[in-house]
Amino acid sequence: MVSYKELGLVNTREMFAKAIKGGYAIPAFNFNNMEQLQAIIKASAETKSPVILQVSKGARNYANQTLLRYMAQGAVEYAKELGWEHPQICLHLDHGDSFELCKSCVDFGFSSVMIDASSLPYEENIALTKKVVDYAHQYDVTVEAELGVLAGVEDEVSSAVSHYTKPEEVVDFATRTGCDSLAISIGTSHGAYKFTPEQCTRDPKTGKLVPPPLAFDVLDAIMEQLPGFPIVLHGSSSVPQEYVDMINMYGGKLPDAVGIPEEQLRKAAASAVCKINIDSDSRLAFTAAVRKVFAEKPGEFDPRKYCGPARDLMEELYKHKIINVLGSNGKAE
Ligand SMILES: [Zn+2]
Residue 221 CA to ligand 1 centre (angstroms): 22
Task: Tell me the per-residue pLDDT of 82-133, one tens digit each, with 9 for 90 and over.
Answer: 999 999 999 999 999 999 999 999 999 999 999 999 999 999 999 999 999 9
* Model pLDDT, residue 156: 52
| Percent with pLDDT over 70 in the chain | 97
Residues 172-186, mean pLDDT to the nearest whole number: 97
Whether 269 and 238 have beta carbons less than 8 Å apart is answered as no
- Condensed to tens digits (0 to 9), the pLDDT of residues 235-284 reads 999 999 999 999 999 999 998 888 999 999 999 999 999 999 999 999 99
Give distance in angstroms: CA of 83 to centre of ligand 1: 31
Q: What is the pLDDT of residues 9-21, one digit of tens each?
A: 999 999 999 999 9
Domain architecture of the chain: domains with CATH: 4-326 (3.20.20.70)
Residue 202 pLDDT exceeds 90: no
Q: How far is the CA of 242 from the centre of ligand 1 (A)?
A: 24
Residue 281 among the catalytic residues: no
What distance in angstroms lies between residue 94's CA and the mean position of ligand 1's atoms? 7
The active-site residue out of 94, 97, 155, 180 is: 94
Order of strands, edge to edge, in the sheet holding 151-154?
157-159, 151-154, 189-190
DSSP reduced 3-state for 33: coil
Q: How far apart are CA 307 and CA 98, in angstroms?
A: 34
pTM of the predicted structure, to 2 decimals: 0.95
Percent of the chain surpassing pLDDT 90:
84
Give 190 Cα–ligand 1 centroid separation in angstroms.
6
- Indicate the helix (H) or strand (E) that contains 80: helix 65-81
* Residue 6 pLDDT level (bands cut at 50, 70, 90): very high
